[in-house]
């Protein structure tokens, strides 16, 4: 969350690298941390902030077809988040790039603010994994001031 509040990804990642095992990829300026110390394929890769400074984006590689524990963890985190984020959407679409995305979104809106977390799983249209070693997803967190 500090990233969407004006923080610097390199500073935040360096400050937490020892605790979380974060490592920088200098080619694309991403920071990657292991999700499972016994399998280097299972990772969370935080992307550098793009043109939309209100959004933090990460790609997730996790055990094949094991998105349920991730969704459950996000659901619990959203419930505990202040303000509480409520599950608002569950979309399924095969996008023009041929990737099937199942998107789940937890959100909070009030007159002045919008906060949301979104998790999307990526598969082939037949629901098989894009990679034979792991499943792929994308995680977004956003905070916006309205009006």
Q: Taking the model in full, what pTM does it have?
A: 0.89
pLDDT tens digit sequence for 16-41: 988 999 999 999 999 999 998 888 89
Q: At residue 103, what are phi and psi to the nearest 5 degrees?
A: -110, 130
Question: Are the C-beta atoms of residues 61 and 131 closer than 8 Å to each other?
Answer: yes
What average pLDDT does this structure show over 130-142? 97
Q: Quick one: tokens of 33?
A: 């941390």
Name the residue range of residue 51's domain.
2-145
Model confidence over 111-126: pLDDT tens digits? 999 999 999 999 999 9
Residue-averaged pLDDT of the chain: 94
Provide the domain count of the chain. Answer: 1
pLDDT band at 5 (very low <50, low <70, confident <90, very high): confident
């Amino acid at each position: 969350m500090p990233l969407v509040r004006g923080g610097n990804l390199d500073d935040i990642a360096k400050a937490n690298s020892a605790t979380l095992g974060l490592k920088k990829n200098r080619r694309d300026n991403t920071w990657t941390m292991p999700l499972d110390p016994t399998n280097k394929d299972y990772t969370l890769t935080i992307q550098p902030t793009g043109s939309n400074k209100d959004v933090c984006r990460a790609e997730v590689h996790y055990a094949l077809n094991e998105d349920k524990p991730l969704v459950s963890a996000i659901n619990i985190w959203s419930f505990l988040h202040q303000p509480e984020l409520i599950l608002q959407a569950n979309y399924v679409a095969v996008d023009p790039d041929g990737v099937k995305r199942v998107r789940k979104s937890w959100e909070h809106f009030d007159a002045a603010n919008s906060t949301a977390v979104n998790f999307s799983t990526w598969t082939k249209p037949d629901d098989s994994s894009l990679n034979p070693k792991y499943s792929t997803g994308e995680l977004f967190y956003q905070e916006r001031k309205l009006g």
